[in-house]
Structure formats: C-alpha cells, structure tokens
Amino acid sequence: AFILMVLGLFITQHHWFFIDIISGSDNINVPADELPQVTSAVEFFNVITVDVFTRSNTEYWLLWLFHFSVMCAPLVLYFVLSARMKLSQSGFWVSAIVIALFCICFSAPVEISFCFALLLLAYTNSSRTLFGFAIFALISTLTLYYYMLLVPLLYKSFLLLAFGMIFLVAALFLRKRGFPTVKNTDEQSDTENATGFPRVSFGMPMLTLLFVVMVLGGANYTTFKYEDVLENGEPIVLKIAPVDPRSLMQGDYMVLDYDILNDAQTYLNEHDLGGELSERRDSGENITRIYALIQNDNNGVAKLCRMELNEPTHFDGCREGVYLPVNNVNSWQFRLPSQSYFFPEGKGEYYGQAEYGEYRFKDGKVLLLRLLDKDLKPL
C-alpha cells in the first residue's frame, strides 16, 4: 500500500505533463477539438486511451515507467491478493480479464487505476476506512476525468456505460459461482464472505433499482414538460448583447447576455417602478422575479414594452399573452431562464457567431431553443 501510494502521488503530480507529451499538446486546458470520426474499434480505443500505446518518447522513459506501473497496479494487486478471495478457477479468470480491460481502457486517466487498486486493497483487508477513502478518491478522479478534454465526452459516456454493463455481468457471474461462505467460527459468521465484508442480498440492489427508477421517472417527466414548451411554445427572438469572448466561452457551453436585460435595468431606473421595487424590498418582501412585456419590431425581434412587478394579466400596447420572467432581481444582475447554451465539442467558434437567441414561451415557462445568426437563420 505504501509503494502504491508513492507511485500514485508521483504520477498524479506529473500526469498532465505526461499526457501532453503523448498527445503533442502544449496545454490540455484548451477548447475541445471537434469530435473525431471513429470507424473501427481500434480507432475508438486510441481515442479513449489518448494514443498512450501507439506513441512513444524515449526521452521520458522513466515517466512512462511510472505511468504504466500505476496503470497495472490493480491487476498486479489482484494476482497477489486473489488467494484471500478463494475464487473458483472460472471466477478467478473472469475477474482478472475484467480488471485487465479496466486498466487498459483507463490508461490515460491513470488516477482511476490508482483508486481502483486502493479499492482492492481495502476489500481484501476488510478496511472500511480505506474503502471509504478509495470511493471518495474514485468519485473525485472521475469528476476530473469529465474535464479531460482530450477524450471526447461522447466517447467517455460510451466507455463508462460499457464498463457499467461489464461490471454488472461479472458481478452476477461471480454471485452465481459464489464467493464461498465461511462456516461459523469465532471470527466470522455465515453471513460474511471470505473477505469479512457482509454478503450482499438482493434487497439492496432492488432498493437501488427502485431509487433509480424514481429519479429517472421524475427527470423524464420534467423533460417531457420542457419538450412541450420547446415544441409548442410561442417564439421570442432576442438580440444577444456584446460580451467579452473570454467570458462567453466556458467549456462546452456559452453564457449569453441580451440587450433586453440591459433595457429592463434602464427602465427600472427611469420609472417609478424601480422605486416601488426598492420600497417593497426594504419592507421585507422577497421579490426575486419581475416580468418584461415585449413587442416585436419589423424583423420579429423582441423589444422591451414595459416592466411589471407582478405576473402580467393585461397586455395593452404589448404582445398579447407573452412575457419574459426576469430573475435575480435582488442582485441587480438580471437573468433569463436557461441563459447557457450547450453545444457539441469543437463547435465553439461556429456558435460564437450567434447574434440572436430564440426562446419559446408557454404557460409562464420560457426556455432557450436555439441560436440564430445575423440573418436570423438557425445555427
């Protein structure tokens, strides 16, 4: 465990430098490249491993040695510690193949292999403290893996989904083949497996499945409602305000600003509505949202008609039945719902030419649908 920790800490400090050497990149914290076209399993493998097996650099051979040492640590530990697991022969080789595949496919983010090795150590030594630490570290490294732009997000999702299925099939196989239970002794009960951890019953997986179904059901219901707004809502086209390009692009999405929000702030400052808003806020009333009524110009672009503190019911002189809920009133930094626009990797420059945003409105809900160019054509 001590040797593994030393190797892991060393390689973690030099990991991104190592990946730079392999990929030929001067800096991995650059906008993501366009999604590479993959036509074979070999190309997919090279993408998810950042070509660590196809490129070599003899100048940094020691760094390569440390990297692959940590990468292989879970498999080496498995062979060393497998005697404690008392697996059948078929179970032994199934586990070995799955761990080997895991080490190879996650060879670029080597910290994940490091955490997986700690999990094996914790399990075989029945150490709940180390097990909890390893789980926390694994979740943290997977979060960092998300921001590793050299591996496209789409292929990361394929890889994680594939290993989720592989682990599930392997777990079911091992459960059927069985970790042998240890007969009642002074140290271990029938309900424990050979490592000292309690055997897992079907009750916990069923509860987990029920929880997942409930979460996905709620999420999909919300998605259905939003899709209804996007498909059947009234269109609202807004002019995008000029923004500093350095703050416009953040990863794989754009943070938008609109002229109409600046007009809304000016309207409050120039009309009695601003004073009324301040008085109501000073009296303790929590006002987090006001409403912008709009009217369209000759090009169909929405302009501010007037502001109201309460949800509007009369639209005299403004577009009938349509309004924009403006949030964050207390901070005086007005925002519309869904002001961030997500786009495919490598398309930042393309969507950077957007000059308009098209929203859809229905039943008081406003959602951003798409971006438009200077000619009001969808990007």
Find the angle CA(71)-CA(76)-CA(56) to the nearest 5 degrees. Answer: 35
Q: Are strands 356-362 and 365-372 parallel, antiparallel or unpaired?
A: antiparallel
Q: Are residues 260 and 363 in the same domain?
A: yes
Domain that holds residue 335: 234-372
d(CA 101, CA 163) in angstroms, rounded, equals 9
Which uninterrupted H or E stretch holds 169? helix 153-177
Domain count, the chain: 2
Q: Are residues 173 and 296 in the same domain?
A: no
* Nearest to 240, CA basis, from 351, 348, 349: 351
d(CA 307, CA 272) in angstroms, rounded, equals 11
Which of 185, 209, 243 terminates a domain? The answer is 185
Which of 128, 150, 185 terminates a domain? The answer is 185
197: in domain: no
Q: Are residues 12 and 153 in the same domain?
A: yes
The answer to whether residues 77 and 121 touch, using CB atoms and an 8 Å cutoff, is yes
* Nearest to 177, CA basis, from 90, 83, 84, 85: 90
75: in domain: yes
Which of 185, 202, 223 terminates a domain? The answer is 185
Q: Are residues 11 and 136 in the same domain?
A: yes
pLDDT of residue 32: 54
Per-run averaged pLDDT (10 residues), the chain, 379 residues: 59 51 46 69 86 71 79 90 81 92 89 89 86 88 81 86 91 74 47 50 77 87 88 92 55 79 85 73 77 91 90 89 82 77 76 89 90 91
pLDDT of residue 178: 59
Q: Are residues 113 and 32 in the same domain?
A: yes
Q: Are residues 31 and 108 in the same domain?
A: yes
The answer to whether residues 95 and 83 touch, using CB atoms and an 8 Å cutoff, is no
d(CA 333, CA 89) in angstroms, rounded, equals 65
d(CA 102, CA 5) in angstroms, rounded, equals 19
* Nearest to 38, CA basis, from 140, 154, 138, 167: 154
203: in domain: no
Q: Are residues 55 and 116 in the same domain?
A: yes
Q: What tokens were used for 218?
A: 């709620």
The answer to whether residues 177 and 88 touch, using CB atoms and an 8 Å cutoff, is yes
The Cβ of residue 176 has, within 10 Å, a number of other Cβ atoms equal to 8
User: Can you name the residues that pair with 298 across neighbouring β-strands?
Assistant: none
